[in-house]
Amino acid sequence: MGMLDRVVGEGGRQVIDSLADISPDLGHHIVAWAFGDIYSRPQLALRDRQLVTLGMLTALGGCEPQLDVHINAALNVGLSAEEIIEALLHSAVYCGMPKALNATAVAKKVFAEQGLLTEPEKPGGSAHSVPEQRFPGQGGTGNA
């Protein structure tokens, strides 16, 4: 349970406890395999593992409860709210807007619970906005 506690914190224990009466074996494999064997491998830092996990859960879709746990875990291992949102935005390119929107809604809930929500910046002025670009044939000067 050491790695599970380190990465996920109390939320991880709650997940394992919730499985005790229905599938204790699943809980065992989460602790022993996922957080025992896989998370302890040295090739990726814990924060990188959480970025991969967030991307995978977002791409799968329908994993909102697991996203809740892993967004909290991402914060626990040092990712900032801004990095998490950027990863979810990036995922939209590969798995689509609906899945990225669902994941972002979960992030918003987690950030609110953690007191991390800030005033949103206006579109066009934030670090998250895409600068206007002109391409040949798109109007304007045509200079790209």
The ranges assigned to domains in the chain are 1-43, 45-115
**Lowest-pLDDT range, 6-10, 63-67, 120-124?**
120-124
Residue 118's pLDDT is what? Answer: 75
Residue 41's pLDDT is what? Answer: 97
Q: In the chain, pLDDT over 70 holds for what percent of residues?
A: 82
Residue 36's pLDDT is what? Answer: 94
Per-residue model confidence as pLDDT tens digits over 86-115: 999 999 999 999 999 999 999 999 999 999
pLDDT average, residue stretch 2-30: 95
| Contact (Cβ atoms closer than 8 angstroms) between residue 16 and residue 27 | yes
Please name which of 74, 108, 104 lies closest in space to residue 90, comparing C-alpha atoms.
Answer: 104
Domain spanning 45-115 has what CATH number? 1.20.1290.10
Coil, helix or strand for 93?
helix
Residue 1's pLDDT is what? Answer: 83
